[in-house]
């Protein structure tokens, strides 16, 4: 059995990131809902979605750079 520690580390980081986003959305929106009401929770949800746009752009830019570098090294 061969261990691939880089794959394991990458998988763990992805799981941690997804868990953090799920916790932020579920617990954060629930707390806003119970403290301030449904209209504030809807606005909070929209704000959280809007905050994902720059994070997604940065992620895709870094993923694109990584893809370019991997394909440039093979030549």
Structure tokens, 9: 């580390």
- Spatial CB neighbours of 41, under 8 Å, sequence gap ≥ 6: 29, 30, 32, 33
Q: What angle do CA 65, 50, 28 make, to 5 degrees?
A: 110
Instruction: Report the pLDDT averaged over residues 19-42.
Output: 95
Instruction: Report the pLDDT averaged over residues 52-57.
Output: 93
Residue 41 · residue 33 · CB < 8 Å: yes
CB atoms inside a 10 Å sphere around CB 21: 13
Per-residue confidence band for 23, with pLDDT thresholds at 50, 70 and 90? very high
Per-residue confidence band for 1, with pLDDT thresholds at 50, 70 and 90? low
pTM of the model: 0.71
Instruction: Decide if pLDDT at 73 tops 90.
Output: no
């Amino acid at each position: 059995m061969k261990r691939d520690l880089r794959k394991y580390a990458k998988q763990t980081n992805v799981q941690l990131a997804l868990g953090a986003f799920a916790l932020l959305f579920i617990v954060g929106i629930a707390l806003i809902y119970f403290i301030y009401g449904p209209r504030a929770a809807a606005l909070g949800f929209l704000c959280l979605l809007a905050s994902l746009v720059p994070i997604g752009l940065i992620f895709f830019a870094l993923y694109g750079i990584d893809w370019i570098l991997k394909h440039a090294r093979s030549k």
